[in-house]
Amino acid sequence: MKASIRPYAFSALGIAGALVIWQVLATAQVAGNALPSATTVFTTLATILGTGTFWSALGATIGIALLALALAALAGVVLGLLIGSFESVRYATLAVLEFLKPVPPIVILPLAVLVLGPTAEMALFLVVFGCLLPIVMQTVDGVQGTDPVARDTARSYGMGEGEILARVVLPSAMPYIGTAMRLAAPAALVVTVVAGLLGGGPGLGQTIYQAQAAGDYASLYGLVIVLGVLGLLFQGATRLAERRVLHWHESYREVVP
Amino acid sequence: MSARPAPPLPLRNRKSTMAQQPETRISATTPRLDVAHLAKTYGSGEKSHTVIEDLTFTVDAGEVVCIVGPSGVGKTTLLKCLAGLHPASSGRAAIDGRTISGPPPEMALVFQDYNRSLMPWLTVRKNLVLPLRHLKLPAAELKERCDSALAAVGLSHADNQYPWQLSGGMQQRVAIARALAYRPEILIMDEPFASVDAQTRFDLEDLCLKIRKDFNMTILVVTHDIDEAVYLADRVVVLGSRPARVLKVVDVDLPAPRDQITTRSLPDFARQRTEVLSLIKRPA
């Protein structure tokens, strides 16, 4: 048990250390008004947490990120299965997808705002755009990585192509899809906030922008802390979900023969 | 060839999907499995590669036939043609006179690589159920088939475990149970015991013979192990390379029931394994 407590103790120590350094630097006025002290920020944060606007903004951010993530996952897996399974679809789409892959969502943000306005739909579109392609690509890799022996087994038992896709290929591709989702979840949060911060979409990004415009640094830092915690929760949740779904996979197996 | 009578098969249970094929009259002499001038060439033109040139042999109902040959001779390709996974380039393989054009419903295939052939995300029981789903069986029959198949391979206790929690020999028994639950009339095994230790190998060989006896199954085993082939088989088809062709079909006349100790110590056993070995060792 000693071994399992030690890492937590050191983590707590590290966090406490960072807070102390923050407090000292702020008290020494190294950055003037731009860096309020830790105590001020946490007091302000407590006040913010008591307001309804904060919670609705938080709800909007989480809602947009999760909905977009779900849409991207659904569309990405379906597209990935199609592209991975049919050579003609693969040749027809891969060039376009490879071209779009390195385009960061921030680049098309002005266009999205122009067309959709500073709305939740705009934010949703950007997040789906940002998360979709990595999920598609990983699913394609997963489909192509399906063991030919597993496929032959299914075929030799007379299973139809659709059934093989759903019951053999898709589960085989799940580890790839899981990796894509683990990377996409924090990215979805980031893009949602950026859409609010730079595009005026609803949620915490917009709240941060308003705090910045008002010169309310204490609130701004408080909201950043909230985002940081939210990011950790997203990552933890995806890890947990991955572990549950992929409990059979080599990297999660509890019993090794 | 087989001395065994051919009583009605208790396991025949599926409608044939090959009904479109012109019906061939099944006479007493129609073999269960008939491979006639089968050839398989991959690719075309200059890059073409002939794996199988001209294979002809038959397997009668209730027989155990082993196919042996040097490694790389195209045994796996042959099985894939028989299982309907690859079309033959010329010649044909037929079951009861009907040409195999897709996976035959009365056939099940057991692969060498159990850890690649079993689905790691499914428990043992669900692995058995997977290929049965499309047969749309009543729930009670589905359960009964899985229960009896697991019992036949001695794995009733493991049905809720995952394949990767089991030893190699147990995993191959799961793969065999999956084939049994499918209730095939013809069982085809591709080097099924090549990846397990010697003791497990003996157990699995005996399991194979027990299955033939209990289920009256026709079994075709590809192996590179000559002793195994002679021990298991009623007939051994000896292949030569390359491309693959039949060197000889050796009738194994060892008494039944076979036993790992007594059968293998018979002078006839030694004589027949020598016969097969010398065929394989002979320079082509």
All domains in chain B, ordered by first residue: 33-106+184-281 (3.40.50.300), 117-183 (no CATH)
Q: Report the mean per-residue pLDDT for chain A.
A: 91
Interface test with A, best of B164, B185, B189 (most A CBs within 10 A): B164
pLDDT one-digit tens code per residue, A38-61? 999 999 999 999 999 999 999 999
The SS3 of residue B196 is: coil
Q: Is the ipTM of this complex over 0.85?
A: no
CA distance A150 to A58: 45
- A153: closest chain B residue by CA: B117
Please say whether the beta carbons of A113 and A122 come within 8 A.
Answer: yes
Chain A nearest CA to B70, separation (Å): 22
Q: What's the average model confidence in pLDDT over A201-219?
A: 91
Helix pair angle (A38-49, A217-245), 10° resolution? 70
Instruction: Give every CB contact of residue A223 below 8 A, 6+ residues apart in sequence.
Output: A48, A204, A207, A208, A211
Contact yes or no for B164 and A156 at CB 8 A:
no
Angle between helix A52-85 and helix A204-213 axes, rounded to 10 deg? 130
Domain spans, chain A: 39-245
Tell me the average pLDDT across B59-69. 90
The answer, as to whether pTM is greater than 0.90, is: no
| Residues from chain B contacting residue A155 (CB–CB below 8 Å) | 85, 103
Nearest to A248 among B108, B121, B130 (CB): B121
CB pairs under 8 A between A and B: 65
Contacts of A152 in chain B (CB under 8 A): 80, 83, 85, 109, 111
Q: Which residues pair with B68 in a beta bridge?
A: B238
User: Do B120 and A248 make contact, defined as CB atoms within 8 angstroms?
Assistant: yes
* Spatial contact of B118 and B171, defined as CB atoms under 8 Å apart: yes
Confidence bin at B30 (pLDDT 50/70/90): confident
Bridge-based pairing state of the strands B98-99 and B90-95: antiparallel
A152/B103 CB distance under 8 A: no
Residue type at B215 in one-letter notation:
F
Q: B33-42 and B49-59 as β-strands: parallel, antiparallel, unpaired?
A: antiparallel
User: Which tens digit of pLDDT belongs to each residue from A97-149?
Assistant: 888 888 888 889 999 999 999 999 999 999 999 999 999 999 999 999 999 99
Nearest to A43 by CA among A226, A248, A222, A247: A222
Inter-chain touch A156–B103, beta carbons under 8 Å: yes
Model confidence at B225, pLDDT cuts 50, 70, 90, reads confident
Please report the pLDDT score of residue B43 as a whole number: 82
What is the C-alpha end-to-end distance of chain A, expressed in Å? 25
Beta bridge partners of B240: B245
Say which range, A24-33, B13-22, B131-140, has the weakest mean pLDDT.
B13-22
**CATH class held by domain A39-245:** mainly alpha
Beta strands in B60-194 (DSSP E): 64-68, 90-95, 98-99, 107-110, 186-190
Inter-chain contact B83–A156, Cβ cutoff 8 Å? Answer: yes
* Stretch among A46-50, A253-257, B19-23, B157-161 having the lowest mean pLDDT: B19-23
Q: How many angstroms separate the CA of residue A176 from the nearest CA in chain B?
A: 14
CB contact under 8 A, B85 and A257: no
Average pLDDT, stretch A52-81?
Answer: 95
Q: How confident is the model at residue B16 (pLDDT cuts 50, 70, 90)?
A: very low
Q: A169 near A81, Cβ under 8 Å? A: yes
Task: Name the strand (E) or helix (H) holding B34.
Answer: strand B33-42
Cβ–Cβ < 8 Å for B279, B67: no
Residue, of B249 and A71, whose pLDDT is higher: A71
Question: What pLDDT is attached to residue B7?
Answer: 43
Q: What is the mean pLDDT of chain B?
A: 83
Query: Which residue in B17, B113, B182 is closest to A149 by CB distance?
Result: B113
Which residues of chain A neighbour B105 with C-beta distances below 8 Å?
158
Coil, helix or strand at residue A14: helix
- A248–chain B nearest CA distance, Å: 5
Nearest CA in chain B to A167: B130
CA–CA dist B204, B56 (Å, integer): 28
Tokens of B150: 């697991």
